[in-house]
Amino acid sequence: MTTSYKPEPVAGSVLTGKWKGRSYRVIGKLGEGANGAVYLVVREGRRYALKIGLDPADVQSEVNALTAITAGEGPLAGFLIDTDDFIWRRTSYSFYVMKYVEGKQSSQFLHKEGPEWLSVIGLKLLAQLTHLHARGWVFGDLKTENVLVSAFGDAHLVDFGGLSPIGRSVKQFTEIYDRSYWNAGTRTADPGYDLFAFGVLCLRLLNAGEECFRPGLLPQNRCPELLLRAAETAPACRSYLPCLRRLLTGGYSSSREAYEDWKAGIYTRYTRPHKSGSALGFGFKTGLAVSAVLFLSVVYLYLRDLL
């Protein structure tokens, strides 16, 4: 059931697809996961990311999902470039080629550029999730490692091994992002599953609730309220609290709704300060009420004089 050795192409080696004959020159390894490794490659002067899988059925399953979400118009159009097999030591290995996303892992990006970038990154991610959900798919394994951020907060989802059709079981997940781990719902793929993981992702990116994510937290203590309490006590989370609350408790009926709410949050967040903003609102409304009462009493007095 397991492969005893795996292909390890070194920099400079060339992989040639046996069906379509396209060649890719390896520049280096980008990352490695449980079921394969991703390499940076070049073909005709252009750079791509190429994933080699250990199990051809797993690769094909991912390719099928990617084909479904990238077909036609949309933000992912043209993402999947090629799929083929290459032969290494007389064994065929499947691979697929994707657009190369140059960027930092999301937590590193935020650490370097500052937490206020979360508002931009979050919006981009919610837009991508909205697109996936509209196509009938759930991302599944949303976590900081699977989000790459390029310049100016341009965030991209990478590693599509968790893509699951809505209504089916989630194919791949990571415990601390898993809705079911937190006793906050099922492990069935629905938009709320991704939105919950997105909520946890925000906490991770803002370094909130570290104590909740340590192994050994008792199962009976795992609940979304614990995460929310952690968010409430972390100053960095304050302006995101209304969104986080709904993300972690299934408070959105769709990712579109979460997207709109997040977007609306950005403007209230940055266009007026939190406390004086509400004080101003209160003063304005009170003033309006007082002037209305005054106006009515003037009208009353005037009418009484007339009669």
Partner 1 sequence: MKQIILITDGCSNVGVSPVVAAAHALSEGITVNVVGVVDQGEIGELGSEEIREIARAGGGLSRMVGAANLSQTVQMMTRKTVSHTIRQVVGAELKAIMGQESVELTDLPPDKRARIVHVIDEMEETAPLEVALLVDASASMKPKLAAVREAVRDLMKSLEARSGQSRLAVLRFPGTGGEEARVEQAWSNRLAKVGELFYNINMKGTTPTGPAILRTVSYFAGEERTDGLSAEGAPGSSAARRQTKDGIWSDYVV
Choose the stretch contacting partner 1; rule: CB under 8 A; options: 24-32, 173-181, 205-213, 296-304: 173-181
16 makes contact with partner 1 (CB under 8 A): no
Chain positions 203 to 242 lying near partner 1, rule: CB under 8 A, are 215-216, 219
Based on CB atoms, which residue is closest to partner 1, 189 or 237?
189
Whether residue 167 contacts residue 173, with contact meaning beta carbons closer than 8 Å, is answered with no
Based on CB atoms, which residue is closest to partner 1, 45 or 216?
216
Q: Which of 3, 16, 23, 64 binds partner 1 (CB under 8 A)?
A: 64
275: left (phi over 0), alpha (psi -120 to 50) or beta: alpha
Q: Which of 57, 303, 306, 307 binds partner 1 (CB under 8 A)?
A: 57
CB of 67 to partner 1, least distance (A): 7
Query: Would you give the binding string for partner 1 spanning residues 178-197, x where CB under 8 A is met?
Result: --xx----xxxx--------
The residues, ordered by sequence, that sit 6+ positions from 111 with a Cβ below 8 Å of its Cβ are none
The residues, ordered by sequence, that sit 6+ positions from 71 with a Cβ below 8 Å of its Cβ are 77
92 makes contact with partner 1 (CB under 8 A): yes
Q: Which two tokens stand for residue 168?
A: 């089916």
Q: Which two tokens stand for residue 277?
A: 């903003």
DSSP output for 219-230: GGG--HHHHHHH
Based on CB atoms, which residue is closest to partner 1, 13 or 180?
180
Q: Which of 46, 47, 111, 168 binds partner 1 (CB under 8 A)?
A: 168
Cβ count near 255 (within 10 Å): 24
Which residue, 58, 14, 12, 68, is CA-closest to 37?
Answer: 58
Q: Which of 28, 136, 167, 273 binds partner 1 (CB under 8 A)?
A: 167
CB of 51 to partner 1, least distance (A): 15
CA–CA distances in Å: residue 216 to residues 104, 210, 212: 30, 13, 10
Strands (E) across the chain are located at 14-16, 23-32, 36-43, 46-53, 80-88, 91-99, 104-105, 137-138, 147-150, 154-157, 164-165
What gap in Å lies between CA 27 and CA 38, rounded to an integer? Answer: 11
Residues tagged active-site: 141
35 makes contact with partner 1 (CB under 8 A): no
Total number of residues binding partner 1 (CB under 8 A)?
Answer: 29
CB of 260 to partner 1, least distance (A): 28
Q: Which of 41, 52, 170, 247 binds partner 1 (CB under 8 A)?
A: 170
Q: Report the interface residues with partner 1, using CB under 8 A.
A: 1, 19, 56-57, 60-61, 63-64, 67, 83-85, 92-94, 167-170, 175, 180-181, 186-189, 215-216, 219
